[in-house]
Structure 1
Amino acid sequence: MAHIDYYFSTLSPFAYLAGGRLEEIAARHGASVTYKPLDIMALFPRTGGTPPKDRHPSRMAYRAQDLPRQAKRAGKPLNLQPAHWPTNAAPSSYAIIAAQAAGGGDMSKLVQAVLRACWAEERDIAEDEVIRDCLQEAGFDPDIANRGLLSGAEAYAANLEDAVAAGVFGSPFFVVDTGQSFFGQDRLEDLDLHLAGKL
């Protein structure tokens, strides 16, 4: 059975646009998934990337065109300039890490709820109330957000180091235990084909 390490940032619009397709693909092929939220702003300088605010205007102009196109293809609402972006991604990431450790809910639904809160609902994913709502929506105990902060912080930092070691440089990024990596929500079809033995 294949295993996928899913590296992503809770600030990433492209992780939002991935929706639940990763989980659908994993289920189709009997693959397991480990969710590894990370600090994307710390990842960029370590892997040759540039934070959006520092990118060349031509790159930002393309991003402003491409995101709405991809959102339309995915059938997902998108606010190109969310009211609370960027924000502190650590609290939502800690909650995802804690939920994964605790179990009992739907991880895909949780990740999507957090990303949707940022990119479609104009909510600040650094706020406790928003995080608790997302946990509850996904079937987790909302009090998870108040527990395990130290272990969450340690795992969040470890995810960044794991990502650098695995060759990850953006979000979303999918690393399969076969040695193959796939970057971007637009490579999920390739991941599907790879797990089917066709690519």
Structure 2
Amino acid sequence: MPNRRRIDYYFSLISPWSYLGHAALHDVARAAGAAIDYRPVRIFDLFAANGGVPLGQRAPARQRYRLIELQRWRAARGLPLNLSPRHYPLDIALADRVAIALVERGEDPAGYVADAYRALWAEDRDLADRDVLAALLAGRGHDAAALATADGEAVEARYRRNTDAAIAADLPGLPGYVVDDEPFWGQDRIEQLQAMLAEGRPPLRGG
């Protein structure tokens, strides 16, 4: 029996694009029988290494165009999305590390990640607040002890390794989906990811 294909899912909960692609990615993986490996990333370190620019440093035209694209994709994906969340920008590191902690504890982070995206991007909740994160964990049946795990050095080391791997995969930003070392950057590449999985073709190389 062939090995199950795996999708390395590079994301940060602070990315609205990661949120917009989350459910669609899972639909594609489920249809293809592929597994998803969750790899939260320090997004600003990725930007610095691979040429991305934080939102506040982009030209005004690019910032305005981003808002148009977010509205287009909000409609296309059928998801609620607040263009100006009350708690944004924020320090997302702990919320991202909680997802890593769940993986380290042998638990499926999918539900927590989905709820955390929605909390920030649709419900105006503060993902830098430990009580909010504890409530999100409890809502999915996870022990709040995952927060203590998230504070540990092992999880921080995994966060750094994920970021290094995203940089090495040549991802300019998030979300990124990597299959057999072929990168797909952006939730608007999910359909191309779907085609690759359906065709079973070998991965493309950048040279």
Q: Normalised by the size of structure 2, how large is the TM-score?
A: 0.90
1:96 aligns with 2:94: no
1:162 aligns with 2:168: no
1:96 aligned counterpart, secondary structure: helix
Q: CA-to-partner distance for each residue in 1:78-106, whole Å, 9 max, x for gaps?
A: 111111111111101110001112234x4
Aligned to 2:204: none
Aligned to 2:205: none
2:145 aligned counterpart, secondary structure: helix
Aligned to 2:141: 139
Q: CA deviation at 1:148?
A: 4.7
Equivalent residues of 2:100, 2:150 under 8 A apart:
no
1:33 aligned counterpart, secondary structure: strand
Structure 2 unpaired stretches of 5+? 202-207
1:7 aligned counterpart, secondary structure: strand
Taking a change above 3 Å as real, the CA distance of residues 197 and 88 of structure 1, as seen in their structure-2 partners, is same
2:160 aligned counterpart, secondary structure: helix
Q: CA deviation at 1:22?
A: 1.4
The alignment of Structure 1 onto Structure 2 pairs a total of residues equal to 197
1:121 aligned counterpart, secondary structure: coil
> 1:5, 1:162 → 2: CA distance?
10
1:87 aligns with 2:56: no
> 1:159, 1:41 → 2: CA distance?
13
Equivalent residues of 2:94, 2:150 under 8 A apart:
no
| Match for residue 66 of structure 1 among 61, 69, 94 | 69
Letter in 2 for 1:139: G
Q: CA deviation at 1:71?
A: 0.7
1:35 aligned counterpart, secondary structure: strand
Greater shift, 145-154 or 28-37, is seen at 145-154
| Match for residue 114 of structure 1 among 113, 116, 120 | 116
1:2 aligns with 2:10: no
Structure 1 unpaired stretches of 5+? none
Aligned to 2:154: 151
2:7 aligned counterpart, secondary structure: strand
Q: CA deviation at 1:136?
A: 2.0
Q: CA deviation at 1:198?
A: 6.7
Letter in 2 for 1:155: R
Cα RMSD, aligned residues only: 1.5
Equivalent residues of 1:107, 1:138 under 8 A apart:
no
